[in-house]
């Protein structure tokens, strides 16, 4: 689908739905992609995307150091918008601040009020796109077929049992992000992806084939898993693919980083970090 420089009125109204999936991909100080669930993503106007912040996390730090981002919006009718945007500013008061905090999700929740509104200039957008159901079905079947042969002979214990099972579930939504040659991240749905051992993910890049072809072998990617129970986890690793196994196109991600992005305390799970005492001042 052709990319556009502006949002339409229909796009703006779709982004305004409270019940939707909203993802933001940012770039960390090491130049690696990071994905965060941001359901508060909205369109301020045809050239500006905004989101409300109610919790602390790496994505808000990342955009202040590197403003290049990618976003994805998926509505309840399974329509998807994806685009690139450049973070420009933030505000702690004003009409948009009041608008966010008047929404039922935040107005009646004493713990999750919006305290900052972030603004991003739209660079490009595509959508609405329907889910490529035939391609997704092929990706799921392909990943199932090659999963057993994709495991490492001597796997490292990177994914704990919960994370391994979470990525193995067919009802977990999965999204992959990488940093393109233009310096912006990009997000690709990869619902057929699944775990293949305790340190590897496998996918069959049948759906979104051209987009996966833009990822270089050996490039670092991020994979975000999300359930309808609002469980989510982020992993990062090295992308290898595509190749063929059992006649099926296959790519793998060797995982070396796991991050819990769920509130109230998001943080790194693997590699393990040192425990630090909490001191009162």
HSE-CB of 216 using CA atoms within 13 angstroms: 6
Report the chain (281 residues): mean pLDDT per 10 consecutive residues.
91 92 96 94 96 83 96 94 97 90 65 82 94 58 52 72 90 95 96 88 87 95 91 94 70 92 73 65 46
Are the C-beta atoms of residues 3 and 124 closer than 8 Å to each other? yes
List pLDDT tens digits, range 87-142. 999 999 999 988 888 887 665 554 467 889 999 999 999 989 987 665 555 555 55
β-strand partners of 196: none
Q: Residue with structure tokens 């948009």?
A: 96
Question: What is the reported pLDDT for 247?
Answer: 61
What are the residues whose beta carbons fall under 8 Å from the beta carbon of 99, sequence distance 6 or more? none
**pTM for this predicted structure:** 0.87
Question: What is the reported pLDDT for 102?
Answer: 85
Domains of the chain, start order = 9-130 (2.30.110.10), 133-267 (2.30.110.10)
Question: What is the reported pLDDT for 219?
Answer: 97
Q: In what order do the strands lie in the sheet with 116-130?
A: 33-37, 20-27, 68-75, 79-91, 116-130, 48-53, 42-45
β-strand partners of 179: 185
Question: Cα-flanking dihedrals φ and ψ of residue 161, to 5°?
Answer: -60, -35
β-strand partners of 117: 52, 91
What are the residues whose beta carbons fall under 8 Å from the beta carbon of 34, sequence distance 6 or more? 25, 26, 27, 28, 58, 59, 62, 177, 222, 234, 236, 259
């Amino acid at each position: 689908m052709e990319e556009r420089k502006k949002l339409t009125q229909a796009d703006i109204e779709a982004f305004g739905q409270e019940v939707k999936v909203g993802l933001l991909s940012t770039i960390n100080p090491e130049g690696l992609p990071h994905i965060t669930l941001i359901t508060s993503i909205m369109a301020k106007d045809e050239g500006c995307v905004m989101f409300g912040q109610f919790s602390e996390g790496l994505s808000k730090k990342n955009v202040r150091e590197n403003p290049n981002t990618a976003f994805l919006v998926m509505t309840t009718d399974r329509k998807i918008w994806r685009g690139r945007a450049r973070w420009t500013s933030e505000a702690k008061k004003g009409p948009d601040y009041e608008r966010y905090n008047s929404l039922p999700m935040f107005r009646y929740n004493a713990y999750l009020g919006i305290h900052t509104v972030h603004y991003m200039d739209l660079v490009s957008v595509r959508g609405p796109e329907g889910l490529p159901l035939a391609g997704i079905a092929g990706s799921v079947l392909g990943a199932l077929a090659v999963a057993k042969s994709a495991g490492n002979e001597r796997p490292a214990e990177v994914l704990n049992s919960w994370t391994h099972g979470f990525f193995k579930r067919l009802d977990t939504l999965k999204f992959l992000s990488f940093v393109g040659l233009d310096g912006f991240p990009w997000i690709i749905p990869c619902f057929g992806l699944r775990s293949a051992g305790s340190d590897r993910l496998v996918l069959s890049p049948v759906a979104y084939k051209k987009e996966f072809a833009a990822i270089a072998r050996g490039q670092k990617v991020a994979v975000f898993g999300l359930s309808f129970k609002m469980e989510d986890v982020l992993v990062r690793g090295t992308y290898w693919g595509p190749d063929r196994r059992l006649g099926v196109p296959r790519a793998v991600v060797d995982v070396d980083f796991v991050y819990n992005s769920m509130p109230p305390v998001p943080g790194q799970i693997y590699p393990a970090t040192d425990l630090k005492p909490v001191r009162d001042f």
